[in-house]
A = this chain, B = another copy of it.
Amino acid sequence: MSESFPGYRGQALKFLKAAGAEIGDVVRISKDSDNWEGILIPRSESGDEHHIVIKMKSGYNVGVRVDASTKVTKVGEGIKPTFTPPPLPKQKKGLPKVAIISTGGTIASRVDYRTGGVRPAMSARELYSVVPELSEIAVIDTEILFSIYSENIVAKHWSATAKAVAKQIEKGVAGVVVAHGTDTLGYSAAALSFALQDLPVPVVMVASQRSADRPSSDAATNLVGAVKAAVEVPFAEVVIAMHETVSDDRIVFHRGTKVRKCHTSRRDTFQSVNSEPLARMENGKITMLTKDYRKRDTNRKVVVKADFEPKVALIMAHPDLSPDVIDWYVTQGYRGIVLEGTGLGHVGDYLFDALRNATKKGVVVGMTSQCIWGRLNMNVYDQGRDILALGVLSLDDMLAETAFVKLRWVLGQTNDPEEAKKLLMEDVANELLCRTVYGRIGC
């Protein structure tokens, strides 16, 4: 590691030193017949020793693997402007308070103007300076809880986030915004939906697909939408605020238990499944899309139930899935299994003995569908009924990811499998919408 080349070591560092290139300089990397040109940017500490990362003209960062055939040349000095942050906008008086809790991800970052790199930017002052509109909506208090990629977020982070949110609510804020990476945002939204009971105010999770240094960034629009929702919406539920389409003019608020990431890169990647979003913001105005929600009520006191059982499996049922997989989980002491079955809720008959053994041993087994859309109906075909007879529970229109989080939560609340099954089949946080209300979109 070198101080003038943050994040670079080994082979990559050697190439940079030989080229006489500094962070911020324009470099060209040639390899076979390919060429890449861009601004040399620093790497995070976890970086390997084989890649040089440059920011290309498109705004995208690219990591190029260097080897014996690679040439690195410096083709231009870095333009190193002195950056003066814009003056802090004047805070309006009498605005409601909103807490922004940051866990990491693209949204909780701002551009380093010298290198083009992206770094955390979450002080209220920095936020106001990057997104001045915020100072007209709320008085913002920021808290950096973690600063990690969301693919590294696990149940202990869900618990810590739930507790941090509750603490902010107890301080009397109008709403809480949670900044989070997009990758596992759907899981975390479900986790907070179950862990935060009796919410008096909304909890708005927010993310962005494109970092703030790209022209197509959705960071500012989503953040403004999230803070506005925290202040204004009439509901007190956990939602995700993201673009409704690829254009910037509409933000929707998806229920935390009915939403999943459905595209690797599009800005409207989050989609409500088997349900409509709760509300939409257009031209700064928020409209409710359903009358069926839990109302804001500051007389309620939030209850935190943030225990999640680690020994729960989420298994995609595919042709020739070996029954040994199910058996292994049982012998390892797993207490719950969520199956992503096919169609209306099926798995191959070659798994029946293993599933019967699992349920007999007290493992709670729930069925969802890998179709994603639509509800289960395990009574249409003989084989569905046979699977129910094995003791497998039909989880109706619950998303597989939500079912996985819920089963972990349920088994964190009780040690009794029968009680767990009952709780799993009850609607706790609008995760089971189709069961009672037919005729909804996708049901």
A residues lining the B interface (CB < 8 Å): 43-44, 46-48, 50-51, 53, 60-63, 149-155, 158, 181-184, 187-188, 261-266, 269, 310, 314-316, 318-321, 324, 328, 332, 340-350, 369-377, 379-383, 385-386, 389, 400-401, 404, 442
Contact = CB atoms under 8 A, between A and B. Distances in A.
A391 to B, nearest CB: 12
A346 B310 contact: no
B314 A340 contact: no
Given A314-B318, A319-B155, A382-B46, A343 B374 contact: no
Nearest to A373: B263
A265 B374 contact: yes
A371 B261 contact: yes
A154 B343 contact: no
A250 to B, nearest CB: 19
Given A187-B319, A382-B43, A373 B343 contact: no
Contacts of A320: 154-155, 310
A194 to B, nearest CB: 14
Contact of A151 (B53, B61, B342, B401): B342
A119 B309 CA distance: 45
Contacts of A389: 48, 50
B264 A46 contact: no
11 contacts: A43-B382, A63-B379, A63-B382, A150-B342, A151-B346, A154-B348, A158-B319, A264-B374, A264-B375, A266-B374, A328-B328
A172 B379 CA distance: 43
Contact of A371 (B269, B379, B380, B442): B269
Contacts of A382: 43-44, 46-47, 53, 63
Given A183-B343, A183-B346, A319 B153 contact: yes
Contacts of A43: 382
Given A318-B187, A379-B62, A182 B386 contact: no
A112 to B, nearest CB: 15
Contact of A369 (B184, B264, B350): B264
Nearest to A209: B343
A294 to B, nearest CB: 26
Given A264-B375, A385-B48, A389-B48, A316 B316 contact: yes
B154 A350 contact: yes
Given A154-B348, A265-B344, 9 more contacts: A47-B386, A61-B379, A63-B382, A149-B383, A151-B347, A154-B320, A265-B374, A316-B340, A318-B401
Which of A318, A376, A386 has the most chain B CB within a 10 Å cutoff?
A318
A46 B261 contact: no
Contact of A264 (B149, B350, B376, B400): B376
A180 to B, nearest CB: 12
A267 B316 CA distance: 23
A264 B324 CA distance: 27
A262 B385 CA distance: 22
Contacts of A349: 46, 151-152
Nearest to A48: B389
Contacts of A60: 380
Given A318-B187, A385-B47, A385-B63, A342 B374 contact: no
A155 B153 CA distance: 36
Nearest to A266: B374
A327 to B, nearest CB: 11
Contacts of A350: 152, 154
Contacts of A62: 379
Q: Which of A184, A264, A340, A380 has the most CB of B within 10 A?
A: A264
B343 A261 contact: yes
Nearest to A155: B320
A149 B346 contact: yes
B149 A381 contact: yes
